Copies of this chain bind each other. A is one copy, B any other.
Amino acid sequence: MSHNSFGHLFRVTTWGESHGPAIGCIVDGCPPGIALTEADIQPWLDRRKPGQSKFTTQRREADEVRILSGVFEGRTTGTPIALEIQNTDQRSKDYSDIATRYRPGHADVTYDMKYGHRDYRGGGRSSARETASRVAAGAVARRVLAALSEERIVIRAALSRIGALGVDRDRWDWAETLRNPLFCPDAATLPAWEALLGEIRKAGSSIGAVVDVVAEGAPGGLGAPIYGKLDADIAAAMMSINGVKGVEIGDGFEVASLRGEQNGDPMRMEDGRIAFESNHAGGILGGISTGQPIVARFAIKPTSSILVPVPSVNRDGEEIDVVTRGRHDPCIGIRAAPVAEAMMACVLADHWLRHRGQVGGA
């Protein structure tokens, strides 16, 4: 019951603060014999890295990962894999403001309520910097999935909305998400997003977003009733990402408007196997995967660290206006995309190992 761990058989525990000497994680339960080097992890970290466009924080971090244990002669040994990333650009600066002033919408105030004492530098433990550890763990999970699966499992995330501007789903092109720094799958929507973000940045404000994450190639049978449901774990995983306020599986909130005959995905036989004619379920029924693409979606709120003054209080109980200077993402949804992929990979690896243990096969 570690608050900083997730997963059961494939279990990740993260540590580290935004402005401490380093951050990292332990991946416990990774099967032995899987080829793994830093080169398998680094590209995923590079995708999440700050400072890659003018629309993310200008903090410069190499985000170079080191494997400190659990791998020998290039292959996992079944023992815990310790991954570590040095913090190199945690500027020394005057934190007197942020130390005592509560940003509306930020965890400042609740950390203080709970713990009384917190590392306020750069947001400390509540900073999105922690998500770099998740991406590193997710890269390991991808290797596990590749080892477990005969089919290629593809896990991808994209932004489907920034502010009120949604993409046109008919133009959805995964390849496009690799070509632009906003993980936008619709080239035609991109200019509008850039304009919006430019305006937001100029105004010293921030904006929310919606992220879609899809896993293709996972077999049916992963997940478990009743409290080990695959979708319950995905929901918790996505909700654990900083700023997320809503999660959907498949049709999500749309199902409320549907009738039974509209919602159920009809089944037919195809090459001797069950094939579904639609995927309202998002690949999960009764908490167990169907073999269709697993589809999740989440909404992420606008960064609370903004230049626009907002009424608040400080630790001493004085009413103040808060203005947050410094390097912040105007839209934290952007860098949440690779994090969402990593979380999905971890959840699937964990469930697959659980399934193999408790049911066998696969």
Contact = CB atoms under 8 A, between A and B. Distances in A.
Given A77-B119, A255-B302, A261 B310 contact: yes
Given A125-B79, A358-B357, A9 B1 contact: yes
Interface stretch (A65-73, A169-177, A184-192): A65-73
B280 A32 contact: no
B353 A221 contact: no
Given A280-B105, A319-B269, A287 B14 contact: no
A117 interface: yes
Contacts of A200: 259
Interface residues of A, number: 155
Given A4-B80, A274-B313, A256 B226 contact: no
B109 A258 contact: no
Interface stretch (A43-51, A53-61, A149-157, A231-239): A231-239
10 contacts: A5-B13, A22-B69, A31-B358, A33-B116, A72-B124, A114-B224, A114-B288, A207-B259, A252-B299, A263-B301
A3 B359 contact: no
Minimum-distance CB pairs A-B, first 6? A357-B357, A107-B286, A105-B264, A104-B264, A3-B228, A110-B288
Contact of A288 (B14, B104, B113, B282): B113
A312 B256 contact: no
A114 to B, nearest CB: 4
Interface in A253-299: 253-269, 272, 274, 277, 280-282, 284-291, 299
Interface in A99-127: 102-107, 109-111, 113-119, 124-126
A64 interface: no
Interface in A114-170: 114-119, 124-126, 130, 161-164
Interface in A203-229: 205-210, 220-229
A121 to B, nearest CB: 8
Nearest to A134: B226
B17 A4 contact: no
B229 A4 contact: no
A28 interface: yes
Given A225-B3, A353-B358, A68 B255 contact: no
Which of A226, A231, A287, A359 is packed against the most chain B CB atoms within 10 Å?
A: A226
A28 B333 CA distance: 28
A240 B266 contact: no
A338 interface: no
Given A5-B28, A16-B69, A208-B255, A239 B245 contact: no
Which of A200, A236, A248 is packed against the most chain B CB atoms within 10 Å?
A: A236
B115 A78 contact: yes
Given A5-B28, A16-B69, A358-B9, A221 B261 contact: no
A285 B80 contact: no
B16 A28 contact: no
A113 B299 CA distance: 32
A227 B6 CA distance: 6
A304 B81 CA distance: 27
A356 interface: yes
A82 B163 CA distance: 38
B268 A319 contact: yes
Nearest to A29: B358
A306 to B, nearest CB: 4
